[in-house]
Amino acid sequence: MKNLLSLLLTACLVTPALADEVKIAVAANFTAPIQKIAAEFEKDTGHKALVSTGATGAFYAQIKNGAPFEVFLAADDETPAKLEAEGAGVKGSRFTYAIGKLVLWSAKPGYVDAKGEVLKKGGFEHLSLANPKTAPYGAAGVEVLKKLGLYDTVQAKIVQGENISQAQQFIASGNAELGFVALSQVWKNGALTSGSGWVVPADQYSPIRQDAILLSTGANKPAAAALLKYLQGDKARAVIKAYGYEF
């Protein structure tokens, strides 16, 4: 009995030592998927992912100023590449974890038609999108408006969120009738979760390739490496696909 108790005590002491935490900065559009993936990651590996979400551009500035993130899941491929070139990211660790899709969305059922003609009709007071200077999905929204020749017409109606989450909140709360958000925010298992929307054709904006990178601060952390590997596995990819992303 004494030996058994000793073994159990040893197991209790060793197990937490094997588990670790990893601090990750995640683009706001990926909030819902990463919450589910992080929970599964902890269950499967014992490692805990500490998730912070926000705008990609804002995270870049924070990382450059010494924020203690160890993994970065961006909303574009340019920012991780820049961090790698500047020595803040581990060379060769970058990969595309998802390709995002843009949707013109309204919280009101039937408000946005299947072809986005509501934009041309202009019967709305406010159009929400994320700050195009820091959020790739906001930049994509501006790109679509310009391609459709509507940017100058609707510019005065645009309300900007600090990130894509805030842009969606403006719409969900009714402060904006419609706006451009990430499909992942309003989509699950092949359908809109609420409201109405137009999934913008991919040829209307530049591809939104979302890259992950191991930051220099996480170079020697097993939990950071484990998370990046997990993100490329079948279980995580099934979650990513369910939220409307491609690879």
Burial grade of 154 (CB within 10 A; 0-12, 13-18, 19 or more): middle
Phi and psi torsions of 187, nearest 5°: -135, 140
**Which amino acid, 215?**
L
* pLDDT per position as a tens digit, 221-238: 999 999 999 999 999 999
Distance of CA 50 to the CA centre of its chain: 15
Q: Report the C-alpha gap between 98 and 179 in whole angstroms.
A: 22
Q: What is the pLDDT of residues 119-149, one digit of tens each?
A: 999 999 999 999 999 999 999 999 999 999 9
Residues contacting 146, CB < 8 A, separation 6+: none
Parallel/antiparallel/unpaired status of strands 102-106 and 196-199: antiparallel
- Predicted TM-score of the model (pTM): 0.89
Does the structure show a pLDDT above 70 at 1? no
What mean pLDDT, rounded, does the chain reach?
Answer: 93
Residue 91 neighbours by CB distance under 10 Å: 11
Q: What is the pLDDT of residue 158?
A: 98
Please state the rounded mean pLDDT for residues 147-173. Answer: 97
- Which fold would CATH assign to domain 102-199? D-Maltodextrin-Binding Protein; domain 2 (3.40.190)
Question: Given this model, what pLDDT does residue 12 score?
Answer: 41
Domains 2-99+208-242 and 102-199 share a fold: yes
Classified by CATH at the fold level, domain 2-99+208-242 comes out as D-Maltodextrin-Binding Protein; domain 2 (3.40.190)
Helix, strand, coil in percent for the chain, rounding step 5: 45, 25, 30
DSSP per position, 152-166: HHHGGGEEEESSHHH
Half-sphere exposure of 118 (CA within 13 A, CB side): 23
Mean pLDDT, rounded, for 60-68: 97
E strand residue ranges, 85-243 = 95-100, 102-106, 127-130, 158-161, 178-182, 187-188, 191-192, 196-199, 208-214
DSSP state of 108: S
User: Which residues, at least 6 apart from 233, have a Cβ–Cβ distance to it below 8 Å?
Assistant: none
CA distances (Å), origin 174, targets 52, 101, 125: 26, 23, 11
How large is the average pLDDT for residues 8-29?
Answer: 69
pLDDT at 19: 81
The residues spanned by each domain of the chain are 2-99+208-242, 102-199
Report pLDDT for 10: 42
